[in-house]
Amino acid sequence: MELLEQRIKEDGEVLPGNILKVNNFLNHQVDTNLLDKMGEEFVRLYGNVEVTKILTIEASGIAIAYPVARQLNVPLVFAKKHQSLNVNDDVYVTKVWSFTHKAFYNVVVAKKFLSKDDKVLIVDDFLANGNALNGLIDLVEQAGAKVQGVCIAIEKGFQDGGKLIREKGYRVESLAIVDKMTDDGQIYFRKNS
């Protein structure tokens, strides 16, 4: 998506460790106009797919998922990150390795918000090695629900997550795919992403 790529070029910062910082419009301050347009693009891409629920993960996923859920007129559920191992029987739980914090944490969703009849579109901000996304897919499948597809704002194509998850047969749509980032801050996108 040209508009998003342009914005990443203007405001994205390349940090050591292959981290792209987009706090200016996505991860801290939020450009709601841009996110509305991103939502429209996700809805266009998944136009003829049945969806009953949007699933994302706190915190940054929520703002991206909101316009998608709004336009599709379905509930938005966000998985919660839990430090403690004390989780009860009312939740589905999965363990996720955090790329940015270098630690495991539990991710939970209340059972009452995902059922076996749900057709779920998963939304997240970044796709790197695929751990967060695998965790969200696991939660949907624990519920016996169906993953209809995945919406990612920024995929880092030089990391393996996108390839691994597509190879498992899931549809993944990323609005911008970064193929390369250099230490001096240059960001290169995959064509037609």
Q: Measured from the CB atom, is 91 or 181 closer to ligand 5GP? A: 181
Q: How far is the CB of 23 from ligand 5GP (least distance, A)?
A: 8
The answer to whether residue 92 forms part of the interface with ligand 5GP (CB under 6 A) is no
Instruction: Choose which of 91, 99, 153, 157 interacts with ligand 5GP (CB under 6 A).
Output: 99
Give me the helices (H) in 1-124, please: 2-11, 32-45, 60-72
The answer to whether residue 129 forms part of the interface with ligand 5GP (CB under 6 A) is yes
Instruction: Choose which of 131, 142, 158, 179 interacts with ligand 5GP (CB under 6 A).
Output: 131
Q: Measured from the CB atom, is 15 or 88 closer to ligand 5GP? A: 15
Residues near ligand 5GP (CB under 6 A), total: 19
In angstroms, rounded to a whole number, what is the distance separating the alpha carbons of residues 105 and 148? Answer: 25
Over the window 157 to 176, marking each residue x when it contacts ligand 5GP by CB under 6 A and - when it does not, the resulting string is: ----x---------------
Per DSSP, 100 falls in state T
Report which of 125, 131, 123, 138 is spatially closest to residue 43, judged by C-alpha positions. 123
The answer to whether residue 94 forms part of the interface with ligand 5GP (CB under 6 A) is no
62 — alpha (psi -120 to 50), left (phi > 0) or beta? alpha
In the structure encoding, which two tokens stand for residue 155, read together? Answer: 């995929």
Instruction: Choose which of 29, 32, 100, 186 interacts with ligand 5GP (CB under 6 A).
Output: 100
In the structure encoding, which two tokens stand for residue 23, read together? Answer: 């706090």
User: Residue 188: in which H helix or E strand, if any?
Assistant: strand 187-189
In angstroms, rounded to a whole number, what is the distance separating the alpha carbons of residues 48 and 59? Answer: 28
Q: Measured from the CB atom, is 95 or 111 closer to ligand 5GP? A: 95
In angstroms, rounded to a whole number, what is the distance separating the alpha carbons of residues 165 and 180? Answer: 20
Q: Measured from the CB atom, is 44 or 166 closer to ligand 5GP? A: 166
Q: How many CB atoms lie within 10 A of CB 61?
A: 25
Instruction: Choose which of 46, 63, 124, 139 interacts with ligand 5GP (CB under 6 A).
Output: 124
Q: List contacts with ligand 5GP (CB under 6 A).
A: 19-21, 27, 60, 99-100, 124-133, 156, 161
